Amino acid sequence: MSYQPLLLNFEEAAELRKELGKDSLLGNALTRDIKQTDAYMAEVGIEVPGHGEGGGYEHNRHKQNYIHMDLAGRLFLITEETKYRDYIVDMLTAYATVYPTLESNVSRDSNPPGKLFHQTLNENMWMLYASCAYSCIYHTISEEQKRLIEDDLLKQMIEMFVVTYAHDFDIVHNHGLWAVAAVGICGYAINDQESVDKALYGLKLDKVSGGFLAQLDQLFSPDGYYMEGPYYHRFSLRPIYLFAEAIERRQPEVGIYEFNDSVIKTTSYSVFKTAFPDGTLPALNDSSKTISINDEGVIMATSVCYHRYEQTETLLGMANHQQNVWVHASGKTLSDAVEAADEIKPFNWGSLFVTDGPEGEKGGVSILRHRDEKDDDTMALIWFGQHGSDHQYHSALDHGHYDGLHLSVFNRGHEVLHDYGFGRWVNVEPKFGGRYIPENKSYCKQTVAHNTVTVDQKTQNNFNTALAESKFGQKHFFVADDQSLQGMSGTISEYYTGVDMQRSVILAELPEFEKPLVIDVYRIEADAEHQYDLPVHHSGQIIRTDFDYNMEKTLKPLGEDNGYQHLWNVASGKVNEEGSLVSWLHDSSYYSLVTSANAGSEVIFARTGANDPDFNLKSEPAFILRQSGQNHVFASVLETHGYFNESIEASVGARGLVKSVSVVGHNSVGTVVRIQTTSGNTYHYGISNQAEDTQQATHTVEFAGETYSWEGSFAQL
């Protein structure tokens, strides 16, 4: 077979050519790419800068160069305009002229440096995209040009990754994934099958110790979840799809899309399915708050999954939300389908439990979703998987947060109870050269930065990575077959010495409420007395409480360490035994959290920003429910209610209907909670505290002379 470009053959390019100027997803993507590439070529042209730190000018220029070479390659094939070809030739020639003489850059962390970038990861990315561009012009250039670009640039890069940094090539990790994809794609581009084989099967060619197939075999749980969390998971999709497409075209006999029970599809769906209804991805582990399904890798995945795996309405809903497709044959398939559809409903993956761990044995993510008649979605998520760090793989695999049983809730278009996410500037210059800020460890990773219980103002597993790696949560139950009453529950044990925790969340649709109630029952069993803090990280403005509190005249941090040193103590109040109500306004919605309490409990209002001399932390509000005792249950109900519009001076339903929440009782069999409303209604819910395999029996408990019975994991009584 004659040489074909790697990702887009000549016949496909001709088909995509027909989309130029069209008002379709693909047509609009092409218009955007042409405008962006033409502007870059005109304004920057050919510039090969020297070394610079991560996120600095030089870093960004090298990055923009490879991005625009990649775009120009596909645009050359699609438009047939020679300016794009000439741009790539000139750029690759300019790099090939200087690359052999360049010294290594300076590394500022544990990752080895490249010649262009401060770490080889970025160099891998550069070579991958440059190789894709090279394959688009290969058939148009002279042998002399090929020799220069291949001998003085691409082959030298392969040598660096495969020989000089061999120890990083075979690691099963997101950096290793980029390394093998870069070498494999470059190998295909320059007809170097030996390098392709190393990329596919590892340096030992054993398919186990390293290589792309080993990555696909070992990185993901059976449900496709990636231990480093959503941020790094979506980052892994790009090299997966770029290399997979190249493999499928050059070596279809490998059967890459069917490999390991179609793991490429499974892991893509794991990203899709965990997204919030607005498309943002949960900020579990080190994760950005702004990463969403509009990410480049997720757009690739959506296009290819629709093209190669299945044509579903949900994927159409994803594409309609993204308003984008990959400029590729698969993107045309999806773009055509969106154009042909009469009506596309918002995507909805429903409720699901996603396992974590190589065998799916290390807990995971539980997600409940509820869609009302107005297509408004409520979503609740509990996290209790394995710690997102594992130093046995790689020193850089250190993205775990100490956040077992964290709860996030989303409705009316935003995350109501949220995760702070990571502390980092990504590839931008202002602070720390695009690296993680010190507060990522001192605050963002700490337990108190999450919506889960801290014990004695300490962090889970003593903030010890090795200890945390040995622990993981377990699913207690997950039942979601009736949308009007869904429940999920997880457990963690010994994250604090002598303390076991179980968190159960019920999503209950009841006639008198506008939205499903989020009923949160957090049960703690301990062998001694402790102080229990349950933080509630929210957005918006406090509206009212049902208890008195005192504002602090002088701001002081809440503590000295474990993240508390970064929280200002703004106000606090003692709560009566009936519980506490805190209500706040976010955008146009009111929210009320009503929580049970024992005598002596306290609510502390806090805000991030203490001990933060460089203004690294976002200033965000939180309140902490504080309780002391041995065994304790926090029973809370989050109610969404009302409507606020300042411009027309409208406020409706500013006060919620939930009056009180109380724990009727709890023992080894079950927990019963009571919810009372301002309208005089009373609701009781029973939750099984027994092992999952015994939950389907009838549960009977007696508290304060009353007997309560129910069947299954939980029930409205």
CA distances from 139 to 74, 86, 89, 245 (A): 14, 13, 12, 20
**Separation CA 465–CA 668 (nearest Å):** 31
Residue 505's alpha-carbon distances to 54, 414, 695, in angstroms, are: 42, 19, 16
- Nearest CA-CA partner of 482 in 196, 716, 650: 716
Q: Are 699 and 711 in contact (CB under 8 A)?
A: yes
Of 307, 399, 666, 699, catalytic:
399
Q: Are 562 and 610 in contact (CB under 8 A)?
A: no
Q: What angle do CA 240, 120, 256 make, to 5 degrees?
A: 15
Among the residues of 44-173, which ranges form H helices?
A: 57-79, 82-98, 120-137, 143-149, 155-159, 166-169
Mapped onto helix, strand or coil, the DSSP state of residue 487 is strand
Distance CA 264, CA 140 (A): 34
Sign of the CA dihedral running 160, 162, 166, 171: positive
Q: How far is it, in rounded angstroms, from Cα 677 to Cα 627?
A: 24
Which candidate in 232, 522, 591, 685 is catalytic? Answer: 232
Contact 661, 677 (CB under 8 A): no
Residue 639 backbone dihedrals phi, psi, to 5 degrees: -115, 130
List Cβ neighbours of 168 (8 Å cut-off, separation of 6 or more): 111, 112, 120, 161, 175, 176, 179, 394
Q: CA 311 to CA 315: how far, in whole Å?
A: 7
379 neighbors 278 (Cβ within 8 angstroms): no
DSSP three-state, residue 256:
coil
Pairwise CA distance, residues 316 & 87, whole Å: 35
> What interhelical angle do 230-250 and 259-274 show, nearest 10?
140
Active-site annotation holds for 232: yes
Alpha-carbon distances, residue 18 vs 35, 304, 308, 395, 658 (angstroms): 18, 20, 22, 48, 59
- Asked if 335 and 24 count as a contact pair (C-beta separation under 8 A), the reply is yes
Residues listed for the chain:
717
- How far is residue 456 from each of residues 120, 166, 493, measured CA to CA in Å? 42, 45, 16
294 vs 297: CA distance, rounded Å: 8
Compute the distance between CA of residue 560 and CA of residue 450 in angstroms, rounded to an integer: 18
Can you tell me the distance from the alpha carbon of 338 to that of 526, in angstroms, rounded to the nearest whole number? 55
Residues 6+ apart with CB under 8 A from 358: 218, 221
How far, in Å, CA of 316 to CA of 337, rounded?
A: 8
Cβ atoms of residues 509 and 482 within 8 Å: no
574's CB contacts (< 8 A; 6+ apart) are 547, 548, 600, 601, 602
Q: How far is CA 549 from CA 60, 161, 544, in A?
A: 50, 60, 11
Whether 399 is catalytic: yes
DSSP code, position 140: G
Which residues, in sequence order, are bridge partners of residue 693?
none
Q: What angle do CA 409, 714, 635 make, to 5 degrees?
A: 50
What is the set of active-site residues?
A: 232, 399
